[in-house]
Amino acid sequence: MRTPATMSAVVALAATASMALAACSEPVEEGTPGITDDTVTIGTHQPLSGEAAAGYASISAATSAYFAYVNANGGINGRQIEYLVKDDAYDPVDTQSAVTDLVEGEEVFAIVNGLGTPTHSSVLDYVDEEGVPDLFISSGSRVWNQPHVYPNTFGFNAEYVTEGAALAQYALDRQPDARVCVLGQADDYGDGILEGVETVLGGNEIAEVQTYLASDADITDQIGRLMAAECEVNILGTINGFTAMAIGTAAQLGWSPQWYVSSSGADYPTLVQYLGEETGPALLEGMVSVNYLPFSPDSDWVALFTQINDEYNGGAPFTANTVFGMSAGYLFAEALAAAGEEPTRESLIAAVESGELLGNGIVPLSYSDDNHAGYQTVGIATIEDGVQDYEGTTYNVNVGQVTEVEAAPVPLENAGIPQG
């Protein structure tokens, strides 16, 4: 027989169970992934190993160093930036595993500066479907600039078509009668460079076109065919390793044409590393390339990034990749600052599309709700006496039209730390 005491206990237990059930049935309010009161966690995929590592592994290290500098100076809106770097060895299969872990395992706020056209293409749809901001992709493919298809995706590099057109225009302006040829990677990278050259010269005016696979160990046949075509200007859509392979192979064949190289494969210190300190500088002398970031020796940005590299990156070799990595980091910090004191993924995208982000390039960026491309203006750089620097010619490329413009470098402000 139940006593009043036991009856009371049963009632109390039932009431407790009822309250717990009600609590379980109510939706639990969750915060923005990757955001806490004092941290912002973002991620990226990079080739830290494999054939592309020698040319690109230094990029994420430079970005990490820039974020360490920002964090040491109070962060952005009081939050520290945690940057998770996953190695994908420049292999799309590994990219998929890395990015899935970042999105589902680490629950990052955004993917930032994921590197590579074939690699990032393999996760583009996935990141979009997950609603994760996909910012400042380290590739010049035009695929990233489809805001009505991929509303959260933004490029960073100048598009390959832009670079190809600018290199061809410079060749036409300086050597109008030269036989121009193209060597490109057999994917969207090489295709974009070739398309840009064709917009300026026309397909019939290109003396020879050769391609290579990123897995190729030798391109002697391709270089031999360019040589047989008597090419005088070779425009390259190549990553650093294959730029060095092309120039080195030509030298072995006793051939010395003019080399015009896209920004992704034209980093002078990296190329010297591939070609060797004894022969590299001589082989690279006079090489023409394009860029859009501040790597001139007298740039205030370079001075700051050199200081950051020495203090937060262990004094690693300072290259154009250092500038690239820190510039991408700066742009994310600028976007995060503009996203507000309580950032959400929606406010981050709105900040990028606002048109107020400037970046730190030779001209301000111009993102908008209908333009998710990175830089559309590039400057011509040359190597002279072992120094790679802008020579003063700057081209804007818009819908296939190449126009020479004045550079308008974004000035360094507030010690390179964006303010909200």
Chain centroid, CA 204 distance in Å: 32
Picking from 148, 156, 146, 152, the residue whose alpha carbon sits closest to that of residue 126 is 152
Residue 29's pLDDT band (cuts 50, 70, 90): very low
Q: pLDDT for 200-248, tens place per residue?
A: 999 889 999 999 998 899 999 999 999 999 999 999 999 999 999 999 9
DSSP classification of residue 103: I
- Quote the CA–CA distance of 362 and 405 in Å, as a whole number: 11
CATH fold of 39-158+295-375, please? Rossmann fold (3.40.50)
Q: Which residue has the higher pLDDT, 10 or 55?
A: 55
**Residue 260, strand partner residues:** 235, 288
Q: What does the domain layout of the chain look like in residue ranges?
A: 39-158+295-375, 160-291
Q: Which residue has the higher pLDDT, 79 or 400?
A: 79
pLDDT at 400: 78
Over pLDDT 70: what percentage of the chain?
Answer: 93
Residue 163's pLDDT band (cuts 50, 70, 90): very high
Picking from 47, 112, 104, 117, the residue whose alpha carbon sits closest to that of residue 84 is 112
* Bridge-based pairing state of the strands 134-137 and 206-212: unpaired
CATH class of 160-291: alpha beta
DSSP classification of residue 411: P
